[in-house]
Each structure stands twice: as structure tokens, then as C-alpha cells.
Structure 1
Amino acid sequence: MAYELSREDLEPLLLGAAFFGSGGGGTIESARHLAKHFVAGDYYPTDKVKVVSVEEATEGAAVMVAYLGAPEAINKTSFAVGPVAAVQNVQTRLASQATKLAYVMPPESGALGFTVAALVAAKLGLAVIDADGAGRAVPSLPMLTFAAAEIDPRPALLVSQGGLCVELDVTPREGNHGGPSHQRDVSAVVEQMMRPIVADPEFGQFGGLAMWVMTPADIDRATPVRGTLKRALELGRAVRAGRIRSASQMIGYLAEHCGIAARAISEPGELVSAAGKTGGGFDGGQVCIRSAAHTYTVIYENESLIAWDSAQAQPIVLAPDSVAYFVDGEGQSIFSNGDLVLDNGSLNPAIGKRPVTLIAWRAEPALRQPGLILDSFMALLNSLGYLGPYVPLEVLQSIRHGGAA
């Protein structure tokens, strides 16, 4: 069922989306900064956003829209100028082909991705489709279901906040749209081309991306992960209403309302470090949580990818499975990797010595099956020093607990 988001809905939406983002998907800070400026007036013609289901998206084409780049670099942005301009370029291109652009879609579950999609839709009079390409946040384009579904990536438009537009057109090997193997490869090629562009001073580590124009039939086959905006909105509302105050209550909520079998993979502990660096459109680093004899380490590139327990010989979580932070006590309970550290490199004082728990759950089926998405995750894990196979969360936990389910 279609529904409408108001300005007041953006805070619970971005908060819930941040939890599902597996440590990434942009920072809560950057999404809040954009949401604060969502007021009907000179820039936005309305402060309402229409959201439709995949099944209802039949009135025209859709395009994925996002910010691509380092979350830290996006934090101070007030308006989604780059993404808006990228989608406007797509609108113009489609209009010349007598095709109507009716929808935008976020690339992933994350605070920034959902907020940007909503704001672009409001600015341009479009609707947002209640789905995304992963159900979590991901570090690269080939990890999205749009890539796995071999949607034609042309046009792929990257626009800076200053209005510089770069179009990437990877020439097909065969025919007008290329063969299936070409479309599987091209998302990786586009990704490799875009990262140096956003690192250029003109872009300042980020840009607005519009890519993967989809017909209604394309939308249906390319988006097996659905209802993710509604899921994030309802979770955010529950957190803000005080119905989720502990990690155990969050795990219970996920089971009852989302059908997600999540589990705490750490004892509650103290956040002791969160060292990182920005480069090539990524924020990367490690987060350490200490609890009694255990030190839990999360390794991330924008999104959390591997978690270790110092008392174990193997990882306790491997991407694409998701892991999120939950902070007990008074104050904000959900944080992305980028929200844990201030601009000066110090830990966010909002957390202090409050207990932090790692909560993990299995990725969506589309991300776990052999193919482009899982291969892309494994290639990234290899680059981070993990050279083994993908081992599902429940298997890792069974090994950890001596075979107990």
C-alpha cells in the first residue's frame, strides 16, 4: 500500500535505516543535516513524500539515486544537490525518448540512502519505491541486486555539489545493451571508474549518483528485497517511543515485527577505540569494544564487514551478514561507524561508558547465493586479509559455542 512520509517521519526513518545499514549507509549526522532543511519553500515544493510498493510502481520508469563517497565528507551537506541534478539529467534523457520517470529508489538500507531518496522525490515530484538493492548497506555497486539482475547501467551520471556532471558509458561488447556477462562486469568497471572521480578536489570525496534506469518489469525482477523503508520507519518509531531500550528488546522486536532471527554476538562492553581514515570515497578502519576478557573488533569500509572476538580463532561475523551496534542507557542507542568518531578523531562522547552490544543477523537470500554479489563481498574480504570462504552467521556461532545451535 502506498503511504506518505512527512517531515516528522524522516527522523525515525533515518534512525531505523541506520540500524539496518550494518554500520554504514551514511552517518546519522549527515542524514539529519539534510532532513533539517526539508521544509516546503524556496527549495522544496512540498514537505511530503509518496512511497509506493514494488507492485504499485507501474506508471513509469525508476532510477536508483544515492550519494557515492565517504560518509565523513557528506556530513555537512544541507541539500542533496548532486543527487537531484543527477536525476534531473536522467529525466531529461528519458523525456527525449518519450519515457516518463516516475520513481526513485535508494541503493541500500541506510540513513543517508533513504533520506536522499525521499528528498530527491520531494524536490522533483516523484515517488519513492519501498525497496532497495540489499536490505543492508554495501561498499560497492556490484553488491546490489540491480547489478545481479543485469539492469543496463547506462546512463550512469555522477554530479558534484558544484554541478560538475560526469557520465560513464561503458561500451557493450555485443549488441546495444551487451550480453549478460557484460552487464555483470560493467557495474564493477563503473565502480572502479567512479572512485577516482569522487576523490578529485572538484568532488571532495562524494557525488550524487543516478544509475540503473528500470521499467516496471525491471523493477519487479531487480528488487527482491522489499518493504525496507516501512521496516526502518517502524523500527525508528519504536526506538523513539522508548519501546526498545536494550539489546535484548531489540532482538525481540526484530523477531516479532521483522521476521529476523538476530542474536547478540558480544557481551555488553565499552567502546575503547574507533580508528579510521578517509580516501577514495571510503571511510575505513576498526572499532574495538572491550568486555572483561574479550576484545571485539569490527573492521569496516564504510560498512561493517568482519567482526572478531579476541577469544576466538575465526571471525564471529562475515559480510554479507549484518552486524549493528546497540548502546544501552539514556540517549541515542543506534550509531553507524561514522557516528562513533568526531571530526577530531575522538570517540563520540554521547556513548561514553554506556554498554555497547554487537547484534548480528543473516543477510537477505539474494546476497548469500553464489554469484556476483557474494563474489564481490568475498573479493573485498580477501583484500582485508580474510582468505577463507563465506561462512554463514549461524555456522560461525555454532562453531563458537561448540556445536550448539
Structure 2
Amino acid sequence: MAYELHREDLEPLLLGAAFFGSGGGGTIESARHLAAHFVAGDYYPTDTVKVVSVEEATEGAAVMVAYLGAPEAINTATYPLGPVTAAKNVQDRLDLKPTRLAYVMPPESGALGFTVAVLVAAKLGLAVIDADGAGRAVPSLPMLTFAAAEIDPRPAFLVSQGGLCVELDVTPRVGNQGGTTHQRDVSAIVEQMMRPVVADPEFGQFGGLAMWVMQPSDIGRATPIRGTLTRALELGRAVQAGRIGSARQMIGYLAEHCGLAARAISEPGELVSAEVDTSGGFDLGKVRIQAGQHTYTVMYQNESLLAWDSERPQPIVLSPDSVAYYVGGEGQSIFSNGDLVQADGTLNPAIGKRPVTLIAWRAEAELRKPGLNLDSFMQLLNSLGYLGPYVPLESLHSLQSMHKGDAS
């Protein structure tokens, strides 16, 4: 059911979205920086936004809007100038057609993704659809359900904060829309074209993206993962209200309110090191947590993709399954990879020696089934040195139990 999202809702929304972002989806810092300027006035005509369900999105077209690039670079943005201009270009293009632009779609679950979608909608007088393309954050476009649904990626606009606009148009080999596999293939091509663009000095490692214009008849099949914005908002409110004060309580909340069979895949430990290298529009790195004899290592490319336990012979989580940090003790409990590490490469002092637990849960069914989305995750895991198959979280947990039995 449709509802109004208000300025004060952005903080719980971005907190909850950061947890579901699997370590990525933009930093809490960057989302808060944008949210702090969400005030009705010279830039925003209103400080409320309408949120509608997929079923209610029948009054016009929708477009996915996002920031594309390195989280550290995006932290400097005050207003979502690039995404707004990119969406405005789509709006102007649709003005020449019978269908008007009525909705904004976030690309993924993540603090920045949801915040940007809300702010673009507020600026342009549009509504936000309560769904996204993954139910977690992802490093590349072919991992999103919009690509798997073969939604035409044209037009696709990438715009810098300074207003430089690049339109990407991959012309089909066959006909106007291409063959049956064209839209699946082209999402990978567009991704490969965009990364060098955002790496250009004019873009400064990030830009605003608008693509995958969906007609009302397309929205349903392109967005099987629904209710994710509301899910994030309610989780953030529960955290703010103090109803979630430990990793155990977080796992209980996810089971009761989200239907997610999450589990702690690490013992509580101390954040001891983090490595990050920003290039090509990505933050690439490793986060290490020490708990007794166990060294837990999370490998990420903006988003967490792979986690290891030094005492186990196989990974403890593989993407597309999600893994999030829960930081116990006093203070903020939810952090993305980008929030763990400061701009100078040092660890965030807000965490200190507080206990950090890794919580994981299985990916949405659409990301786990054979096809473009899962194949894209596996190709990325291969580049990180994992050459095996996708093994669901619960199966990895069974292997760990067997390993413990063999050792006893």
C-alpha cells in the first residue's frame, strides 16, 4: 500500500538499507551527507516522497537511478546532481512518447541506493517503487534483475556532478530491440563502457546513472524482489528504538519480521585491519576480524562477496548470499565496508575494540537460479581467486559442521 516517506524517515531508511546492502550499496556517510540537505526550499520542492508498491505502479514509466562509482568518492556529494540530471534526460526523452515518467526505481538495497532514489523522486515530483533489482547491493549491472528480465537499457545516461552527460547506446545487431539474448549481453557491455568513463578526471570516480526505462507492463516482471524499501525502513526504526541491541537480537528480528534464516558465521571479534584500493569506480579491499584463533577475512568489491575463516578449508559465505557486520557495544551498530575505513586508510575509531560479528543469509531466489545474475557473481568470484561452484550458505554451514566432526 502506498505511503508517504518524510525527511525524518531517511535516517532509519539508510541504516536498514546499509545492513541489507551486504557491506556495499554506498556508505552510510555518503547517504547521511545527502539526507542532511533534504529540506524543502531552493533545491527540493518538497521534503516528502510517495512510496508505491509494484502492483500500484500503473500510471506511467519507471526508471532506475543510481550513483555509479567508488563509495569514497561519492562521500563528497551534497546534492544528487548527477542522478537527477540523468533522470531528467530520461524524462525529457519520454515527453516525446505517449508514456510519461512517473516512478523512480532504486537499483539495489543499500544506504545510498535508497537515499538517492528518494531524493531524485522528490526533486522531480515522482514516486519511488518499493522494490529493487537484487535485495542486496551488487558490484555490476548484469547482477540486477532488470538485466535478467532483458529490459531495454536504452536510453542510458551517465552524468557527472559537474553536468557532463554521456549517453550510452549499444545498437542491436538484429532489429530495433535485438535478438533474444541481446539485452542480457548489452548490460555487460554497458557496464564495461561506464567504468572507464567514471574513472576519467571529469567524473572523479563516480557519476549519476539513469537506465532501464520500464513501461507499466515491464515493471512487474523486472522486479520480482519487492518490499525492500519498507523492509529497510522498518529494520532501521527497530534499531533506532533499541529493539535490536545484539547480533542475536538482529538474527531473531530477521527471522520474525523479514522471513530470513540468518546466522552468525563468525564469533564476535575485533576489527584488526582493512585494505582498500580505489580504482575504476570500485573500492577493492579486505576486512579482517580476529576472534581467538580465528581470523575472518571479508573480500569485497564495493560489496562483500566472499568470506573466509582461517580455521576452515572452504569459504564461510559466497555471494550472491549476503553478509553484514553487526558491531556490539555502545554506538552505531551497522557499517558498510566504506564506513569501516577512513579516507586515510585507518580503521574507523568509532568501532575500536567493540565486538564485530558477521551475519549472513541466503540470497533471493532470483539471484541463485542459473542465468545471467548468478553467472555474473561467479565470474567475479573467479577473479577473486574462487574457482569453485556456488554453494548456498546452509550447505557451507553443513560442510563446516562436518569439518568440526572430523577434527574431534
TM interval, shorter chain, is over 0.9
Q: Which residue number in structure 2 is paired with residue 135 of structure 1?
A: 135
Q: Which residue number in structure 2 is paired with residue 175 of structure 1?
A: 175
Counterpart of 2:317, as a letter, is: V
Alignment of 1:6-405 (within 5 A): 6-402=6-402
The Cα of 1:403 is off from its aligned counterpart by: 7.8
The Cα of 1:99 is off from its aligned counterpart by: 2.0
SS for the counterpart of 1:325 is strand
The Cα of 1:216 is off from its aligned counterpart by: 1.1
Whole-angstrom distance in 2 between the partners of 1:82 and 1:235: 29
SS for the counterpart of 2:399 is helix
SS for the counterpart of 2:305 is strand
Whole-angstrom distance in 1 between the partners of 2:96 and 2:348: 49
Whole-angstrom distance in 2 between the partners of 1:173 and 1:259: 43
The Cα of 1:282 is off from its aligned counterpart by: 0.1
Whole-angstrom distance in 2 between the partners of 1:401 and 1:4: 46
Q: How many residues align?
A: 405
Counterpart of 2:50, as a letter, is: K
Whole-angstrom distance in 2 between the partners of 1:180 and 1:363: 26
Deviations 1:188-239 (A, max 9, x none): 0000000000000000000000000001110000000000000000000000
The Cα of 1:28 is off from its aligned counterpart by: 0.1
The Cα of 1:2 is off from its aligned counterpart by: 0.2
Counterpart of 2:325, as a letter, is: Y
Whole-angstrom distance in 2 between the partners of 1:397 and 1:388: 16
Whole-angstrom distance in 1 between the partners of 2:238 and 2:22: 19
Whole-angstrom distance in 1 between the partners of 2:178 and 2:369: 24
1:262–1:11 Cα change, 3 Å:
same
Whole-angstrom distance in 2 between the partners of 1:109 and 1:2: 19
User: What TM-score, normalized by structure 1, do the two folds share?
Assistant: 0.99
Alignment RMSD: 1.0
User: What TM-score, normalized by structure 2, do the two folds share?
Assistant: 0.98
SS for the counterpart of 2:306 is strand
Whole-angstrom distance in 2 between the partners of 1:385 and 1:338: 22
Deviations 1:125-167 (A, max 9, x none): 0000000000000000000000000000000100000000000
Which consecutive unaligned segments of at least 5 residues does structure 2 have?
A: none
Whole-angstrom distance in 2 between the partners of 1:149 and 1:175: 19
The Cα of 1:98 is off from its aligned counterpart by: 2.8
Moved over 6 A (4+): none
SS for the counterpart of 1:253 is helix
SS for the counterpart of 2:11 is helix
Counterpart of 1:309, as a letter, is: D
SS for the counterpart of 1:298 is strand
Counterpart of 2:29, as a letter, is: E
Whole-angstrom distance in 1 between the partners of 2:403 and 2:382: 26
The Cα of 1:173 is off from its aligned counterpart by: 1.3
Which consecutive unaligned segments of at least 5 residues does structure 1 have?
A: none
